[in-house]
Amino acid sequence: MSRVKKGNMSEEKFNRTLALLRGTLDYNDFKDVDVVVEAVIEKLPLKQQIFSDLEKVCPSRCVLASNTSTIDLNLVSEKINAKSRVAGAHFFSPAHIMPLFEIIRTSTTEPQVLVDLLDFGKRIKKVPVVVGNCPGFAVNRTFFPYTQASLLLVDLGLDVYRIDRIIAGFGMPMGPFSLFNYLTSKW
C-alpha cells in the first residue's frame, strides 16, 4: 500500500496485482509451476531440504532457482537428481528499487533454464545478467570492495553524503551508506 500512498501506483492496480498472488503452505500447490525461486535464510541444510521437496512435486520443466547471495549452487543442488534445472536467481535489496537480477549458472545448468530465467527477469521488469557460480557471484564481488573503499574514504574525512552522491553519479541506484541506512531501518 505504500506505493499507493506515495502516488506511485493506483489503488486499482494495487488490488489487481495483489489478486494475482496466492499463498500456500502445501508443496502440492507447486505441481503446475514453471519457475520456483527459493528465498529462505542462508542455511545450506534448509535450502537442500527445500530443493529436495520441490523436486518431488514440481514438473520436470520447472526451473528450481535459489535467491542465495553466498552459497555455492552446486552445494544447494547436491542432494537432488535434477541438477540441470538449478540456477541462481539473485534479487538485490531493496528488490523493489534495485533493478539488477543476477542469474547464476552452474556447469550443469541447462541453457533453457537460463533462457527461462532471462524471460522471467524481463517480465518482472528487472535487468537480468547471467554470471558464473563463484564466491560472491558478480555483484557482491564488486560491492564489498567498493564498500570497503567507501569506509576508508570516511576514515580519511570525506562526508558519507558526498560519497553516496559520487557513487550514484556512476549509475548506482544508491550509495553504500544510503543502502546501509535503508537496510538497517527495516530491522
Q: Which residues are catalytic?
A: 90
Inter-residue long-range contacts of 128-133, CB under 8 Å, 24+ positions, other chains counted: 128/101, 128/102, 128/103, 129/100, 129/101, 129/102, 129/103, 130/103, 130/104, 130/105, 131/102, 131/103, 131/104, 131/105, 132/104, 132/105, 133/72, 133/73, 133/74, 133/88, 133/104, 133/105, 133/106, 133/107
Q: How many C-beta atoms surround the C-beta of residue 64 within 10 A?
A: 24
Dihedral sign (CA 52, 81, 89, 29):
negative
Element (H, E) at 130: strand 127-132
Question: Cα separation of 29 and 82, whole Å?
Answer: 19
Question: Cα separation of 4 and 116, whole Å?
Answer: 31
